[in-house]
Chain A
Amino acid sequence: MRMEYEVVIGLEVHAQLATVSKIFCGCSTEFGGEANSQICPICLGLPGTLPVLNKKVVDYALMAGLALNCELSRHSKFDRKNYFYPDLPKAYQISQFDRPICQNGYIEIETAAGRKRIGITRIHMEEDAGKLNHEGSIDCSTGSLVDYNRTGVPLIEIVSEPDLRSPAETREYLNQLKQILQYLGVSDCNMEEGSLRCDANVSLRPLGQKEFGTKTELKNMNSFKAVEKALHYEITRQRSLLEQGKKVVQETRTWDDNLAQTISMREKEEAHDYRYFPEPDLLPLEVDHSWIEQIRSNLPELPREKKERFIDQYGLPEYDAGVLTASRALADFFEEGVRAYHEPKAISNWMMGEFLRLLKEAGITVEQAKITGQLLAELLQLIDEGTISSKLAKTVFAESFKTGKDPAAIVEEKGLKQISDQGQLDQLVSRVIAAHPAVVADIRNGKDQAIGFLVGQIMKETRGKANPGLVNKLIREKIETG
């Protein structure tokens, strides 16, 4: 009989904090600058320089800790993690070892079997390293070039318990985590720019066994999709080893997106003896009650609370509420719209239909879009007032999306105002009826749906501007009386 295995996954996520300056010096954290243009004696580790802690880094770490249900450490400190690598200018990384800022939290995820709690072991603050660019390929390189712009960019590392049981759960955990961090505004969580990075520990054990199997550590997964693919690959690889009676080797493996497989990294010559000790250049951190309360009182509403509120307050279906609260910007857009236009479901429909479609087409984020919730509300009012048809409203929306202009102005400018003047339409209706006697006959014979054709003709003539309800009424009147 085939042995059943249970998958055990734990994640280490590094999130870049959204500060403007680095963790220990005043250099900019902006992404994409010219190599070595955002460095100073401090982040370059020049002899004699000293670190001074950016307060916002601690604020952000505490916010993340509260949102992830952690215990916040009253007494915390920084430690040095010593190892040699050219991207590490001081040959030690300032990190936190035995007194991380936050511990023992959790995230709740939705799984097929219901809601599940994934433990968070710890969150700690640390500095990022620089970037190595290899000349040629890594295996036959003539040298490497080092850019220290990233050095000293603030990170939090969020370490989960080995509570995840599948790639799908892992993805859900990451989605939740990303959503929460983005909601807090502590990280933009952009994986392409490296502001969210994820390493995974994976092992298999026979179903029912208590002890963990031998794990491998997966690195270099640059998107959520890559995380899922790498996990699937690694699980299959480990399962096949175990089924053949072979052993899994404890090692670090790197995900190669092109080859779509994990590859063993040659063991570094360096022994992993980081010789942690308290960073003597930084003083201890003491987080008192009032600091925590101040952070707590400024904590924004989190995705799950917001979703529930949207259902209660606006009577939205759960699905709508889920979509609209996927990002804080989307939810804010919605609420701005609802404030000015009191039919939440109508706002929701427009957002989930037109707005998301246009965002996807344009490949931009909610924040980058020019249209606002207020403008959408104004558009809906124009429909209600009969100023434009709902069909033309889509054109107006698209224009406002593109330009950020207000809908009334667009209607005016493009002459899209609905024709609701009976006198103006009468003539047109008469002409269309006269031009299509066969259709008129059909209608008279009870083929009621044929009326749509006549309406269509009139809309075509007026380029969509005719009030369709009025046109419908006029056609019926004329056919009945005629």
Chain B
Amino acid sequence: MISKKDVEYIARLAHLEIDEQDKEVFTNQLGAILDYIDQLSQLETEGVEATAYTVPMKNVFREDRIATSISREKALANAPDQREGQFRVPPIIG
């Protein structure tokens, strides 16, 4: 069963901040969903291959050729903060 501590751990992994009250709500909701999902344990899957791709394809490649890149202005057009043609972020340690 998922605990409040689990919720805190996964929130940290996902970079989400959840206040105390919502933690309770999330713990309960996620618990209920996981309960529902648990019906999967009734399904016998011993030795069953996992399907990641529903269309049976493999080996899709592109050739090693240079294609046009977008301009720096276009690339930076949506940047919340930029300086000297680069994306600017807050200090990593601080």
Contact = CB atoms under 8 A, between A and B. Distances in A.
Interface string A130-169: 0011110011111111111000000000000000000000
Interface stretch (B30-38, B39-47, B51-59): B51-59
A304 interface: no
Contact of A52 (B61, B70, B85): B61
Contact of B67 (A27, A39, A57, A132): A27
A202 interface: no
B64 interface: yes
Instruction: State the majority secondary structure of interface residues on A.
Output: loop
B62 A54 contact: yes
B5 interface: no
A409 interface: no
Given A35-B84, A84-B15, A147-B86, A283 B69 contact: no
A53 B9 contact: no
Interface residues of B, number: 36
Contact of A40 (B64, B69, B76): B69
B1 interface: no
Given A20-B66, A41-B70, A273-B13, A36 B93 contact: no
B74 to A, nearest CB: 9
Q: How large is the interface on A (under 10, 10 to 19, 20 to 34, 35 or more residues)?
A: 35 or more
B13 A144 contact: no
A143 B90 contact: yes
Contacts of A280: 52-53
Contact of B89 (A36, A58, A138, A144): A144
Contacts of A143: 81, 83, 88-91
Nearest to A52: B62
B52 to A, nearest CB: 5
A52 B9 CA distance: 34
28 contacts: A21-B64, A21-B65, A26-B65, A27-B66, A28-B69, A34-B85, A35-B72, A35-B84, A35-B85, A36-B86, A36-B87, A37-B72, A39-B75, A40-B69, A41-B70, A52-B60, A53-B61, A54-B64, A55-B61, A84-B15, A86-B92, A143-B90, A145-B83, A147-B86, A148-B75, A273-B13, A284-B52, A284-B58
B93 A266 contact: yes
Contacts of B61: 52-55, 58
Interface of A: 19-21, 25-28, 34-41, 44, 52-58, 77, 84, 86, 132-135, 138-148, 266, 271, 273, 275, 278, 280, 282-286
A283 B70 contact: no
B88 to A, nearest CB: 5
Top 10 nearest A-B pairs (CB, nearest first) are A26-B67, A145-B86, A55-B61, A56-B64, A146-B87, A141-B91, A278-B52, A52-B62, A86-B89, A40-B69
A135 B92 CA distance: 11
Contacts of A135: 91
A82 to B, nearest CB: 8
B87 A21 contact: no
Contacts of B87: 36, 86, 145-146, 148
A54 to B, nearest CB: 5
A25 B86 contact: no
B63 A55 contact: yes
B62 A275 contact: no
A132 B93 CA distance: 13
Given A39-B70, A41-B70, A44-B75, A53 B89 contact: no
Contacts of B75: 36, 39-40, 44, 148
A211 B66 CA distance: 50
Nearest to B78: A46
B13 A275 contact: yes
Contact of B58 (A21, A54, A146, A283): A283
Contacts of B92: 86, 132, 134, 138, 141, 144
A234 to B, nearest CB: 23
B53 A283 contact: yes
